[in-house]
Amino acid sequence: MNSMDHLHAAQLLHVTGAVGPESLVFDSRGEGPYTGVADGRVLKWEGEERGWTEFAVTSSNRSDCVRPFAPELEHVCGRPLGLKFDKKNGDLYIADSYLGLKVVGPAGGLATKVATEAEGQPFRFTNDMDISEDEDVIYFTDSSTTYQRRQFMVILLTGDKTGRLMKYDKSTKEVKVLLRDLAFPNGVALSKDGSFLLVAETSTHRILRLWLHGPNAGQVDTFAVVPGFPDNIRRNSEGQFWVALHAKETPFGKWVSSNLWAGKALLKLGNFKQLHASVAKKPHATAIKLSDEGEILEVLEDCEGKTLKFISEVEEKDGKLWIASVLMPYIGVYSL
């Protein structure tokens, strides 16, 4: 599969006064995108004239939440990651990595609690979700039951396998664990016909497929293996899937992930930036399009990281890719 080094041609939409627009979503009127940023707010893009407006927050305790990036305050201010609108009523569901699954009405404001635990075990790192309108359930991931979002390098370096995939039933308000012992489960996407669900397992570079219906219901297989650390997965209108890679893996990173003692030793050194650089290839961007059978159809890259880096989600809409990043202060818009 040829890789095209084209993503540097993306236009940038700066998120003024904020950083880390991790997930993107448009409402049923096609307005937006809406995105969650590192200071705990969900912002809405209102076009060139008005720019970004504050749409929602996940925590009411915001007096200290004044800096764009303050990881040590994330558990207080909240850190919204995956976002999804319920098309039936316009509610916005928010996977807040510290505060659990939340929801806010179409007018925005303070989001309310949906779920914070399963089987008596609190979520530690709520990450991404997809909503099945037909079945009125939300499928979502908790990336670790041990570590929180700001320790995501620890999850990678220690080979933590405590992540879970869960299902929240909107009518009974019950949370059921569907898969456990996952290695950094991250992005979630339902197939177009609802027969299976994809989950990105970041640490192993795999996209797992859980069959929900049909002869294989309940079974899990490997849908695809990608050349780096997969983050969010989003389905396009044709039923294909865009996977954003946070980074490509370095040979050193590969060695560390197969020698966990090395990862644990590295953690004692403790310099996050150095660790990140040694395990993840130099900053660049990779977006991969998969068919509904798991074949790689297209690879788009910004190999030098000239424009985009550390991307977390790719949302296809009206001939454009809207590209989010968990670390950067902007969104990329790339015309297909």
Residue 55 lies in a domain: no
Residue 80 lies in a domain: no
Residue 257 lies in a domain: yes
Residue 104 lies in a domain: no
pLDDT at residue number 277:
60
Residue 144 lies in a domain: yes
pTM: 0.91
Per-residue pLDDT tens digits of the chain, which is 336 residues long = 667 889 999 999 999 999 999 999 999 999 999 999 999 999 999 999 999 999 999 999 999 999 998 888 999 999 999 999 999 999 999 999 999 999 999 999 999 999 999 999 999 899 999 999 999 999 999 987 876 666 666 656 667 798 999 999 999 999 999 999 999 899 999 999 999 999 999 989 999 999 999 999 999 999 999 988 899 999 999 999 999 998 776 554 565 555 555 556 555 555 555 555 655 556 788 999 999 999 999 999 998 889 998 899 999 999 999 999 998 999 999 999
Residue 83 lies in a domain: no
Residue 114 lies in a domain: no
Cα(207)–Cα(188) distance, rounded to whole angstroms? 9
Q: How many domains does the chain have?
A: 1
Q: What is the CATH number of the domain that holds 137?
A: 2.120.10.30
Domain residues for the domain of 12 are 3-29+127-335
Residue 44 lies in a domain: no
Strand partners, 34: 25, 44
